[in-house]
């Protein structure tokens, strides 16, 4: 993100006779890497390798409608919409659904090629995970939020299907949004230096800023951009001109060091260069800390239902993917510096790291390594305050490459960014876009096609899989997190058992997992409990019971949201329809 200008499952514990009829292996899970042939936006060619996520195929249960298990293991169909469940469909509704072209689930590998350097052999014991914050949306352990400008696309009457997103916002100056983005000119009086004009704004450096006046203006800004005191959402402060740690102000940010030293010498000309540097560092970091932490405290006090944090924090600085031995790990020095920012992690109620991709990482397994380590570092520091639960992590990503904004991420790239974030334990992802990315009719048409053909189906896939894993494995009281942090295990639906249908601008996942799939989840994923809840992973015996219960209760049940089918009288769906239309 840039400025407001828009520039850039352990061994089987008991042999269960009553589940012997269930399959003990799973189906292949493949994911096709489609290409998009539209003007301007050129998508990437598919990855040559096809890695199977599951063992060879075997017998499976009849497909049924299934909803994720609640903590009390009640089962039905789960609609991927914001609306509440309603009674079953009428025959007219069934016909509507049958006539709707299903969106095929991915058919090539959902695992990008493994990077040998980061995947050492041998089993790793499950990690003990601290509790984490609760959910913004019920039964949604992983969400994706839209934060892309749509003004130009609206001008050309080009529709953008954002129905899979939880929270649709624009970076523009619009109040009352689910995601409020505070650029430098939207929250208080942020001190900085314009590098082009060299003009100093509000003191230029935090030592010279008037914090009281800035806080007074910030109150007005918060009241304007988040007028409601009861709604929930994300509040992201995007201040990128300087960094609160002195040593991280390198390159063109070194001007803040220079100005800080000059500020010290103005008050005491007898100081040596070394003494002035030491004092300047101390003053700068103290002022920066006060300026940032006070803004967070103000935001939390005024709008406690919003999750406050700074964009780009924490950072990993794990560049260098051109090197053959690249592992993506954050250096020891970077981790030490991030530990120094304990005050920031303590003051924040959410963390917002960035995993934007450069074109050199297109369809590159090193992209997953870069993203994995950045998100894991955010998860690590979120636990440093040692509170009752870790802070949620929402990962900023983009649908295009930062250095080629007319080129969309391929499905493999989406796995490396959004998929990786979900698998390691993030609470969600924010899809951000600059006004310069979609500034004409052609780019808007390309975005609209990309959404329906590639992005939306993948978001439905990963969010539904995260929901399914949470409800089956974690009893609905926690989110699934990889047991082996360096593995390439992802939360994806098996296309042989599920399908996605699109009905009246809503997406629905139809199908049920096999016992073998749930065993794989049990071996590969652990559960991180939501604060105050118990989410001990279900044993194989418990998973089998839950699955059998879901088959018994959900075989002939189908529900869709009232908002989607409010003009259709509700009634039962027939067994024959299930047989004829649910072949997956």
The sign of the dihedral angle between the CA atoms of 112, 117, 123, 129 is negative
Among candidates 519, 466, 581, 539, which has minimal Cα distance to 78?
Answer: 466
Residue with tokens 């983005």: 181
Tell me the two tokens of residue 261: 């030293």
CA–CA dist 463, 450 (Å, integer): 18
Sequence-distant (≥ 6) Cβ neighbours of residue 165 within 8 angstroms: 143, 144, 145, 146, 431, 459
CA–CA dist 210, 201 (Å, integer): 11
Angle at Cα 353 formed by Cα 350 and Cα 356, nearest 5°?
145
CA–CA dist 324, 312 (Å, integer): 26
Tell me the two tokens of residue 358: 């450069």
Beta strands in 72-176 (DSSP E): 79-80, 102-103, 143-147, 168-169
Residues in the chain: 584
Whether the ω angle into residue 314 lies within 30 degrees of 0, i.e. cis, is: yes
DSSP at 5: T
| SS3 of residue 377 by DSSP | helix
Q: Could you count the other beta carbons within 10 Å of the beta carbon of residue 461?
A: 30
CA–CA dist 271, 154 (Å, integer): 60
Among candidates 34, 168, 143, 102, which has minimal Cα distance to 450?
Answer: 34
Beta strands in 15-64 (DSSP E): none
Angle at Cα 409 formed by Cα 28 and Cα 47, nearest 5°?
45
**Rounded to an integer, what is the distance from CA 447 to the centroid of its chain?**
20
Half-sphere exposure of residue 45: CA atoms within 13 angstroms, side-chain side: 2
Sequence-distant (≥ 6) Cβ neighbours of residue 312 within 8 angstroms: 1, 238, 240, 352, 353, 354, 396
Catalytic amino acids?
240
């Amino acid at each position: 993100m840039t400025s407001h200008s828009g520039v850039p499952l352990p061994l089987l514990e008991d042999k269960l006779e009553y589940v012997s009829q269930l399959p003990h292996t799973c189906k292949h899970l493949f994911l096709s890497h489609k290409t998009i042939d539209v003007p301007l936006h050129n998508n990437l060619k598919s990855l040559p390798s096809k890695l199977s996520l599951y063992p060879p195929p075997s017998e499976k249960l009849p497909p049924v409608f299934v909803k994720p298990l609640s903590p009390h293991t009640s089962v039905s169909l789960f609609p991927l919409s914001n609306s509440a469940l309603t009674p079953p469909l009428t025959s007219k509704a069934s016909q509507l659904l049958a006539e709707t072209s299903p969106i095929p689930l991915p058919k090539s590998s959902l695992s990008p090629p493994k990077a040998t350097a980061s995947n050492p052999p041998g089993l790793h014991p499950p990690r003990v995970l601290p509790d984490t914050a609760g959910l913004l949306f019920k039964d949604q352990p992983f969400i994706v939020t839209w934060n892309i400008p749509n003004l130009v696309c609206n001008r050309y009457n080009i529709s953008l299907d954002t129905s899979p997103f939880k929270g649709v916002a624009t970076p523009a100056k619009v109040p009352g949004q689910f995601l409020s983005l505070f650029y430098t000119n939207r929250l208080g009086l942020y001190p900085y230096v314009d590098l082009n004009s060299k003009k100093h704004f509000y003191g230029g450096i935090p030592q010279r800023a008037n914090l009281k006046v800035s806080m007074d203006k910030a109150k007005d800004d918060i009241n304007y951009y988040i007028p409601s005191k009861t709604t929930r959402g994300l509040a992201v402060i995007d201040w990128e001109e300087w960094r609160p740690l002195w040593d991280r102000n390198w390159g063109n940010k070194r001007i803040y060091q220079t100005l800080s030293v000059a500020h010290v010498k103005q008050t005491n000309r007898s100081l040596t260069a070394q003494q002035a540097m030491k004092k300047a560092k101390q003053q700068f970091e103290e002022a920066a800390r006060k300026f940032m932490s006070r803004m967070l405290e103000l935001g939390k006090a005024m709008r406690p239902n919003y999750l406050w944090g700074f964009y780009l924090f924490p950072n990993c600085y794990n560049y260098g993917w051109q090197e053959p031995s690249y592992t993506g790990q954050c250096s020891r020095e970077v981790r030490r510096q991030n530990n120094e920012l304990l005050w920031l992690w303590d003051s924040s109620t959410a963390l917002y790291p960035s995993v934007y991709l450069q074109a050199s990482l297109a369809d590159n397994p090193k992209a997953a390594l870069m993203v994995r380590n950045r998100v894991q570092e955010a998860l690590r520091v979120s636990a440093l305050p040692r509170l009752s639960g870790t802070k949620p992590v929402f990962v900023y990503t983009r649908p295009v490459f930062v250095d080629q904004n007319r080129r969309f991420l391929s499905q493999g790239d989406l796995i490396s960014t959004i998929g990786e974030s979900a698998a390691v334990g993030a609470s969600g992802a924010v899809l951000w876009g600059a006004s310069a990315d979609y500034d004409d009719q052609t780019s808007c048409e390309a975005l609209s096609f990309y959404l329906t053909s590639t992005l939306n189906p993948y978001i439905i896939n990963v969010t539904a899989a995260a929901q399914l894993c949470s409800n089956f494995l974690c009893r609905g009281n926690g989110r699934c997190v990889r047991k082996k942090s360096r593995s390439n295990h992802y939360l994806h639906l098996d296309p042989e058992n599920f399908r996605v249908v699109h009905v009246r601008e809503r997406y629905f996942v139809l199908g049920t997992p096999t016992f073998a799939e749930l065993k794989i989840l049990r071996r590969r994923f652990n559960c991180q409990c939501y604060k105050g809840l118990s989410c001990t992973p279900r044993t194989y015996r418990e998973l089998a019971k839950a699955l059998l219960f879901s088959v018994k209760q959900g075989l002939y049940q189908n529900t869709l949201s009232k908002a989607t089918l409010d003009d259709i009288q509700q009634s039962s769906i027939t067994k024959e329809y299930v047989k004829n239309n649910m072949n997956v």
